[in-house]
Amino acid sequence: MTTMSETMNNGMNEHKPETGIRLTEQQKRARRARSIAIAVSLGVLVVLFYIVTLVKGPGVLVRPL
């Protein structure tokens, strides 16, 4: 359900110039590359924890000092 004020706001926004930060193509490319790198790093970490859990077996939480 749309209220009257929302309808008015939407109508007003159509005529307002866009504000805020607009990323350049270079910034978008850099952000995408960073996002992929973070995703890969997290994936590696998940796989690492999984494999170490398999290797250590039930004693995974038993660590020598």
Does residue 21 bind another protein (CB under 8 A)?
yes
Can you state the percent helix, strand and coil of the chain, rounding each to 5?
Answer: 70, 0, 30
Interface mask (CB under 8 A) for another protein, residues 34-63, using x and -?
A: x-xx-------x--xx-xx--xx------x
- Minimum separation from the CB atom of position 58 to another protein (A): 15
- Minimum separation from the CB atom of position 16 to another protein (A): 21
- CA gap 51, 57 in Å, rounded: 10
Retrieve residue 18's tokens.
């866009």
